[in-house]
Amino acid sequence: MELLEQIVNILLPVFMVVLCGFVYSKISPTDMSIANNLNMNLFVPILIFSVMGSKDFQILSYLGVLAAGVFIVLFSGVAAIPVVRIMGVKWRTFLPPMMFNNIGNLGVPIIVLAFGESALPVAIVLFMVENLLHFTVGMKIVNPKSSFMHVLRVPIVVASLLGILFSLLGWHLPKTIQISMDMMGKVSIPLMLFALGVRINDVDFGEWKIGVVGGILSPVTGLVGVAIIALLFDFPDMWLGVLVIFGCLPPAILNYMVAEIYNQEAQKVASIVMIGNLMSILILPVALIVVV
């Protein structure tokens, strides 16, 4: 009962905010485009930089987590290739949602609630890794003509690179500015959860088969990647716990946005993303039973 109560205390606050977004947009149709742009271009970059640029963050201490994140993302893509061939779907449509999971909307808040504020830097490193790969490798998969130089114009990437630079050089922000940035950065987490709830209203069950396959395959490949890392390396228990949650997260909403921009079967990608996020309601409690 104590374990069950702990899991409920971790997941219920997260899904309550998601539910608020879902119910509110059901009652009053809501355009989240301005809020999402603010979050992706301001609040999330500030969150990343405020954590990575703080006195307590040393990037060199998290190289193992960084490498593990890269491996899990790339392994998930490679492991999904046989399924692409079996199902006869386009790999440019199916692989990115398998590789890039919802570390922003779901992962960061769940990791912090499960392991405390001390786990936030680990979560931010994984968030940074995924975004760097998504805006480079992921973009190249969806649109072969995309240039790697565009990544330098993405605020999340710029914030990550600045955070790494500050950490390596031992620079720190003045206390007043750091507090202000911490306050603004913390706006991003509930706003991402609320936006996820709004997005769930758009789920298209017409492509439910590919959505269910993706919803199952995404956490399976991620967890296999984590198992390989656990066998090969002696990571701290907290790191492994965070990696387990990271590995079993559903596909990121950003996959749908990118597919829509490049006309890469956006409706199929939307089904994979949204059905995967709905299925996470059953998958994440099991993951927490293992790591908590």
SS3 at position 58? coil
Lowest-confidence pick of 52-61, 167-176, 216-225: 52-61
pLDDT of residue 25: 92
Q: Cα angle at 93 between 87 and 96, to 5 degrees?
A: 110
Name the nearest CA neighbour of 244 among 155, 91, 115: 115
* pLDDT tops 90 at residue 232: yes
Sequence length of the chain is 292
Report pTM.
0.88
Where residue 42 falls among pLDDT bands split at 50, 70, 90? very high
pLDDT reported for residue 68: 97
Over pLDDT 70: what percentage of the chain? Answer: 98
Task: Let me know: does 283 contact 248? Beta carbons within 8 Å.
Answer: yes
Per-residue pLDDT at 208? 85
**Tens digits of per-residue pLDDT, 97-151?**
999 999 987 899 999 999 998 899 999 999 989 988 998 899 889 988 877 777 7
State the pLDDT at residue 152. Answer: 79
Range 236-256 average pLDDT:
93
Listed by start position, the domains of the chain span 2-199+206-291
Both tokens of 17, joined, read 């905010």
Cα(180)–Cα(165) distance, integer angstroms: 20
Which pLDDT score, from 0 to 100, does residue 115 have? Answer: 93
Does the pLDDT value for residue 1 go beyond 70?
A: no
Amino acid at 181: M
Please say whether the structural domain 2-199+206-291 has been given the CATH code 3.40.1190.10: no
Nearest 5°: the CA angle 194, 80, 44 is: 30
Highest mean pLDDT among 72-76, 162-166, 255-259: 72-76
Q: What is the pLDDT of residues 265-290, one digit of tens each?
A: 887 888 898 889 889 989 999 999 98
Mean pLDDT (whole number) for 76-88: 94
Region 54-75: what's the mean pLDDT? 91
Q: Is the model's pLDDT at 55 over the cut of 80?
A: no
Lowest average pLDDT, out of 43-47, 55-59, 160-164, 186-190, goes to 55-59
Cβ neighbours for 13, distance < 8 A, ≥ 6 positions apart: 109, 113
